[in-house]
A and B are shown apart, each in its own frame.
Chain A
Amino acid sequence: MAAPVMSDRPGLNLAKLGPLGTIVGLIGAGAAAAVAWSDPKASQSYLFAWFFFGMMSLGFLGFLCLHHTVRGKWGLPVMRIFEAGASPQVLIIMALAFLPVVIPVLSGKSSLYEWSHADVVANDPILQHKAPYLNPVFWTIRFVLFFLIWIGISNFLAKSTAKQDETGEYSNEQRRSQIAPPGLVAFFVTATFAATDWFMSLEPHWYSTIYGVWNVVGAGLMALSVTVLIVTTNKDREPYKGLITPKLTKDLGNLLFALTMLWGYTSLSQYLIIWSGNIPEYTSYFVNRRLEGWQGVGLALILGQFFIPFFALLAPRTKAVASNLAKVAGWILVMRLLDSYYMIMPSFQASSRPTPMPQLWDFVAFIGVGGLWLMGFCLAMKSKKLIPTYDERLFEGDGHGH
């Protein structure tokens, strides 16, 4: 192992942020949800906040399944962060936090989803056609089903690594490698349909087949950025001391780089195909995002979410120095926030969001739902060792690369 860096910083204890998250989350999200009941604008803010943290949790779940599928060495030091980010605690809290969106849909009073109103559907042949899929009851059943599947996968994987840490039984690892690949497939399919249900259907006439892939890539970027931020800013604290090597940050940086390119690739493909087809049914998404200042946000994203991190991560120096990588990861996270706003808000543009000007409830809901997410994350962290001890590869000298 590398020589420990002398430092007086105490060991890292992520769980201690729990009470803060709980207080902020309950007050903020509670207030936003209560106002959202009667105020459509606040309910939009709430959905945007949920999108950011909900999709981020899914990103963690995707990485968790991926890690146990490919079993790369790079995943070991950060696996527990993936586990906590997609822990049953986080997922249950995020599911409960989605209830303020679900209940109005079920009672036919949702200001978010046009298709949930019987009278609107009655006058719209396309929505009538979609009604067997887009109807409040089936939509809610799917919501429950998706979360049950996700919680099941994450619960199994987290319990299994904890058990292997205790007993050292290799059979746990074998079992995980049998469950994780189908888990990854199930994750991808459910995440695609979840994104369709919750976010694509905000504009119920519009559709794009790449939407699921695009969202999963975005979610992965958020989860990985948070992971990178945690490990790089705490690299000289126990238990990360000596484990966050330039090799690891290079691997994580390359992964961020790959996801940044994938995000650019999927975004460009979607735009190019819809733009060149120029069929009114499919262009509505971009038409809504080109009006009244929203186009500025779109341009900022092209520059900020693709070009800036792309060139920053192209340089090996960025990836070898932890503090540099932390800056890029933080930047990507901010861009994901802006992109989340850009993906959700213009869907309501016609009625209430003429310009990309944030409003009070956007902030309250974001901090609130973020607090709830933090609460789940810390709850999960409480009972975890940050570093898994079962895999000897983690403590070996550098055996990979050439």
Chain B
Amino acid sequence: MAESKQKLMEFRPLIEGEQTFESIDQKVADLVLHQKGRYPVNLKSPWYIIMGTAIGIFHLLILSVGWLLYQGIGIWGNNVPTAWAFDIINFVWWIGIGHAGTLISAILLLMRQNWRNSINRFAEAMTIFAVMCAGLYPLLHTGRPWVAYWLFPLPNITGMWPNFRSPLMWDVFAVSTYFTVSALFWFVGLIPDFATMRDRAEKMWIRKLFGLLSMGWRGASRHWHRYEQAYLLLAGLSTPLVLSVHTIVSYDFAVSIVPGWNVTVFPPYFVAGAVFAGFAMVLLLAIPVRKWFGWTEIITDKHIDWMTKIMLATGLIVFYGYILEVFYGWYSGTSVELKLLNFRFSGPYAWAYWSLIFCNGIAIQPLWSQKNRRKEGLIWVICLLVSVGMWLERFVIIPMSLMQNYLPSSDKNYYPTVWDFGMFLGTIGMFFMFMFLFLRFLPVINIFEMKDLLYKTQGEKAATAREKKPATAPSGGE
């Protein structure tokens, strides 16, 4: 029985292969410190290709934003009644993508799920870059981003005062808090690893750079004690943020009376959708990256399996939301709700609705089988479909609900312009650009938490391996 158990995913270790503290340092830190050579596999060519493409696309953002600032938001397809379109879709999409990072780093930490250790930093970085992309949209949609500070309740002589009953106002606070806490969380978690980098660096300027970033970390027990306290506190602060940010995003719509928006299940349904999209993006990046960087022993099949399960679970919650929307839309018996349902099912944008059902509802079903959860190619394609599907979901909810009104005479279709697409693609370029810079120049995997996990799981072995190879004193782990 014991042998058959070994084959099962659940009994496989979180760190595979014969690892030691030294090998983990090498795997993660040396990628950054030895830019020339020593790469385990074919890292360089994919990195240059993706980085080059990302920078190329990023220029599209610069161009779109430049033209937008010159001409005004009239260059977008927004109209009346569809005053919210790509700008808000993309905002919600990006914010959602960020959620996996916070969930992995904060909630899984509080739930004592050790498997988060090798993917948390990566996901946290994703959160920060995704929130940066998201923030651009409402900022530019104000039309005059240079006076965006008016959104804050600053004492002033012009009598400008934000409306605290508007969820848009809550958004400003929710998103800026979210960004601040996520960035702090990320940086605090990096400090012990910056120290490792400093200790391993050979060139003086790199040592000084990481020395500055590590803020005088020496690995003293007092440092660790304070670190643990700060980290747990930040995790406690981030946990409600996972729920609150997307809840407030859902209130942007739900507290209005627009048919298709005034839906009570929106808050939990949006939160689940955010985590769903976030995990899809984590997997989309993690699957190729772990191959390129030779990290299949650190980000194991087991990690992929778990993330896929979470993606499936949240995807099913989202699908449950779709069923409720349709069922209660019909059950309401009100003419506007029925009209909207009809518009979704068979209107000019029906293809968007049905593609969304396919991408988010049907395409994830193969993930029920454990066999399929080991096929990386399949998972990658599903994640891509989910990312598209989650974008379509926001398209269906936001402009498609606005196109239909209580007064049929004010119904009007919405058509995006080339600038809408330009800006959307541009932020994708920006996201990948930052992400790949991060992948190349910072420790992507949490070195000291991996050592800690190694010590906990194979205590004896890790200890003896350390005796054999005392070359580099680990600055973390004990």
Contact = CB atoms under 8 A, between A and B. Distances in A.
Given A170-B5, A265-B267, A277 B112 contact: no
By secondary structure, the B interface counts as helix
A99 interface: no
Q: Secondary structure at chain A's binding surface: helix, strand, loop or mixed?
A: helix
A210 B269 CA distance: 9
Nearest to B267: A269
A18 B316 CA distance: 39
Nearest to B228: A402
Interface of B: 1, 4-5, 8, 112, 243, 247, 251, 254-257, 262-268, 316, 320, 323-325, 328, 331-334, 368, 456
Contacts of B316: 185
A273 interface: yes
Contacts of B251: 272-273
A214 to B, nearest CB: 9
14 contacts: A129-B333, A170-B4, A188-B320, A189-B323, A192-B320, A213-B265, A269-B247, A269-B267, A269-B268, A273-B251, A273-B263, A276-B255, A277-B256, A401-B112
A395 interface: no
A270 B328 CA distance: 15
A209 B112 contact: no
Interface centre among B5, B256, B267 (most CB of A within 10 A): B267
A170 B1 contact: yes
A126 interface: yes
Given A208-B264, A209-B263, A265-B243, A281 B255 contact: no
Contact of B332 (A188, A207, A266, A402): A207
A209 B324 contact: yes
A309 interface: no
Contacts of B255: 272-273, 276-277
Given A170-B5, A273-B255, A279-B257, A210 B264 contact: yes
A402 B263 contact: no
A215 B284 CA distance: 36
Interface in A189-222: 189, 192, 196, 207-213
A99 B333 CA distance: 29
Interface in A364-402: 400-402
A190 to B, nearest CB: 12
A133 B331 contact: yes
B328 A209 contact: yes
B331 A273 contact: no
A192 B262 contact: no
A279 B257 CA distance: 8
Nearest to A213: B268
A274 interface: yes
Contact of A277 (B257, B323, B331, B333): B257
A281 B324 contact: no
Given A126-B333, A133-B331, A188-B320, A209 B256 contact: no
A159 interface: no
Given A269-B268, A277-B256, A281-B334, 10 more contacts: A170-B1, A208-B265, A208-B328, A209-B264, A265-B267, A266-B268, A269-B266, A269-B267, A270-B264, A276-B256
A206 to B, nearest CB: 9
B118 to A, nearest CB: 16
Nearest to B240: A261
A130 interface: yes
Interface in A144-180: 170, 174
A247 B122 CA distance: 31
Contact of B264 (A130, A174, A269): A269
B315 to A, nearest CB: 11
Contacts of B320: 188-189, 192
A95 B472 CA distance: 68
A126 B323 CA distance: 21
A125 B335 CA distance: 11
Interface in A127-145: 129-130, 133
Given A272-B251, A273-B255, A400-B112, A210 B265 contact: yes
Interface in A319-377: none
B264 A402 contact: no
A319 B382 CA distance: 41
Contacts of A281: 332, 334
B262 A279 contact: yes
A210 B334 contact: no
A45 B264 CA distance: 28
Contacts of A174: 8
Contacts of B257: 277-279
A212 B321 CA distance: 11
Nearest to B324: A209
A55 B96 CA distance: 33
Nearest to B328: A209
Nearest to A279: B257
A402 B267 contact: no
Nearest to A132: B330
Nearest to B262: A277
Interface in A246-272: 265-266, 269-270, 272
A178 B266 CA distance: 30
A192 B456 CA distance: 43
Contacts of A402: 112, 456
A209 B270 CA distance: 13
B337 to A, nearest CB: 10
Contacts of A170: 1, 4-5
A324 to B, nearest CB: 21
Contacts of B5: 170
Contacts of B332: 207, 281
Contacts of A133: 331
A182 B184 CA distance: 39
Nearest to B2: A170
B267 A209 contact: no
Nearest to A268: B267
Contacts of B256: 276-277
B409 to A, nearest CB: 21
Contacts of A270: 264
A189 B257 CA distance: 27
A133 B333 CA distance: 12
A212 B325 CA distance: 12
A125 B320 CA distance: 28
Contact of A273 (B112, B262, B325, B334): B262
B333 A209 contact: no
Contacts of A196: 331
